Structure 1
Amino acid sequence: MNLVNIGGVPEHFNLAWYLGLKNGDFKAENINLRWHDYFGGTGEMCKGLRNGDIDMAVILTEGIVKDIIAGNPSKIVQVFVKSPLNWGIHVANHSKFKTIDDIKGTRAAISRYGSGSHLMSYVNAENNNWDLEKDLKFEVIKNLEGAVEGLTEDKADYFMWEKFTTKPLVDNGTFRRIGNLPSPWPCFVIAVREEFLKTNLEDVKTILNIVNTTTEEFKDIPSIDRMIANRYEQEIEDVQEWLSLTEWSQKNITKETITKVQNELFALNIIPEKWDYENLVFEL
């Protein structure tokens, strides 16, 4: 049985992988797929791919594009979630800040440099016509738990994370959400180490076929809203709203989307140059 290590955030977007593992779908194809939760998000997964700790990752589009250009020997093989990610912009409940304008020039909590929370801070700054050099400051907090500590103890001032994942923390009064920012492109892609692709191409294709079969039918799974609510400790009405907004994909990322992501990252000085599509994407 072939061992394949895959990483992703422990959030509702990735339930399809858990269901495939629970049902034995990968083992039935002689693949021992091992799922690894990455609480630190995209930056931590990029490190995992670089180090060979994982072979595949379900990862934020902008984060993996940046890291491949920065030397990560991986390729995008498919879009996983084609709808935007709804980033909530949060402050501590006791914070004096009430609006997006109030947090201009203050400290953004980020999981790590190169993470989605880091990169989307730039997008938010650009959208609000901030000075990217003067108005952005960062405090590394590693993960959501670190963000709770950072904001409540005034080590940082605001934090951007997926809206529905942080909703329980808004509901219980830990955070206040002062704004939302949808990502301007499909949010999650599947990336694979190039070395692994060369030697395990058929396994990668099989894995994608299995998860794609699940995502195609995901919204039709009986009581899927209750399953998500129970597993991820969400209110069922929040899950139902999330399901209505979320669309999975079974296709690879387009040249137009790659161009859009790179144009944005280049304009924000996040990447030093723009690469050809073929150097970022592997077409199965």
Structure 2
Amino acid sequence: MKSIKIAGVPEHFNLPWHLAIENGDFEKENIDLQWTDVPEGTGKMCQMLRDGSTDIAVILTEGIVKDIVAGNPSKIVQVYVESPLVWGIHVAAKSDYKELSDLENKKVAISRLGSGSQLMAYVNADNQKWNTENLEFEIINTIDGAVEALTNGTADYFMWERFMTKPLVDKGVFRRIADCPTPWPCFVIAVRNEILESNPTIIVKILEIINQTTEEFKEIPSIDKTLASNYQQKIKDIQEWLSLTHWSQKPLSEKMLNKVQNQLLELKIIDKKGTFEQIVETV
């Protein structure tokens, strides 16, 4: 039995992995796939790939592209979710901010440096024609940290996946004033180079299993109820989320990688582009 460590956010996108693990699909192929939930998100998972505390990460496209260009010894082996991630832009429910324009030059709560929440703050600012050099950040680690920061005023707004944050909007903790979808597929699967070199056939098998699971995922009876219950969501929100979310079984194309890198370069999030061979491994 070969042990492989995998990390991802504790969000509804990753239920297919948990179902495949629980069903023993990896075990049947002599793979002990050990899942770690990472509520801190992409910045933390980049660090885990770098220090070897995970072998695989299900991670935001823009975050891992940026980190591989900066020297992370990993490669993207596949797109996991091809639809955009819809980032909700949230403020404290009792704050005076009503419009997106009110947030220009205000402080953004981010999970950590290099996280999706930071990178998307740049994308949003650019979309609004704000000066991205004026962006200021407050590191809050997790959603709980964001609740604290927005409530006590140490940060003004927080960008996070809209549906996972919806329960806080429903409870009157946050108010969502706008959405900002990613201009690219939201999640990819990245693997450390060392693992790709030493265990290529195991990585191929893991991808085959998860692709089979995601292909059939929406057909699972009462999957909306399972998701709603597991992630404390309302059924109607989950049904809307399912209608917007499309998993992928394909590699990241050179054209899409160029699109991501061009935008990151334009926003000065990266200072140079990596090659397709440096960032993507076709397994």
Using the size of structure 2 for normalisation, the TM-score is: 0.99
Does residue 127 of the first structure (1) align with residue 127 of the second (2)?
yes
Aligned to 2:138: 139
- Give the Cα separation in 2 of the matches to 1:8 and 1:129: 32
Q: Give the aligned residue type for 2:96.
A: K
What are the superposed Cα offsets for residues 73-104 of structure 1, whole Å, 9 maximum, x if unpaired?
00000000000000000000011111110010
* 1:211-226 alignment runs, 5 A limit: 211-226=210-225
- Give the Cα separation in 1 of the matches to 2:197 and 2:232: 40
- Give the Cα separation in 2 of the matches to 1:9 and 1:170: 20
Matched-pair identity in %? 59
Aligned to 1:196: 195
Unmatched tracts of structure 1, length 5 or more:
none
- Give the Cα separation in 2 of the matches to 1:31 and 1:218: 21
Q: Give the aligned residue type for 1:114.
A: G
What are the superposed Cα offsets for residues 131-155 of structure 1, whole Å, 9 maximum, x if unpaired?
1112x11000001111111111111
Using the size of structure 1 for normalisation, the TM-score is: 0.99
Aligned-pair CA distance for 1:206: 0.6
Q: Give the aligned residue type for 1:55.
A: D
- Give the Cα separation in 1 of the matches to 2:52 and 2:153: 36
Does residue 173 of the first structure (1) align with residue 172 of the second (2)?
yes
- Give the Cα separation in 2 of the matches to 1:18 and 1:62: 24
- Give the Cα separation in 2 of the matches to 1:149 and 1:203: 42
Aligned to 1:281: 280
Aligned residue-pair number? 283
- SS of match in other structure, 1:46: helix
Aligned to 2:161: 162
- Give the Cα separation in 1 of the matches to 2:271 and 2:69: 8
- Give the Cα separation in 2 of the matches to 1:86 and 1:68: 24
Aligned to 1:81: 81
- Give the Cα separation in 1 of the matches to 2:149 and 2:22: 36
Runs of 4+ displaced beyond 6 Å: none
What are the superposed Cα offsets for residues 224-250 of structure 1, whole Å, 9 maximum, x if unpaired?
000000000000000000000000000
Q: Give the aligned residue type for 1:150.
A: A
- Give the Cα separation in 2 of the matches to 1:273 and 1:205: 30
- Give the Cα separation in 1 of the matches to 2:162 and 2:133: 26
Aligned to 2:113: 113
Aligned-pair CA distance for 1:275: 1.4
Aligned to 1:264: 263
Q: Give the aligned residue type for 1:24.
A: G
Aligned to 1:36: 36
What are the superposed Cα offsets for residues 22-73 of structure 1, whole Å, 9 maximum, x if unpaired?
1011111000000000010000000000000000000000000000011100
Unmatched tracts of structure 2, length 5 or more:
none
What are the superposed Cα offsets for residues 120-173 of structure 1, whole Å, 9 maximum, x if unpaired?
000000000001112x11000001111111111111000000000000000000
* 1:97-108 alignment runs, 5 A limit: 97-108=97-108
- Give the Cα separation in 1 of the matches to 2:274 and 2:72: 13
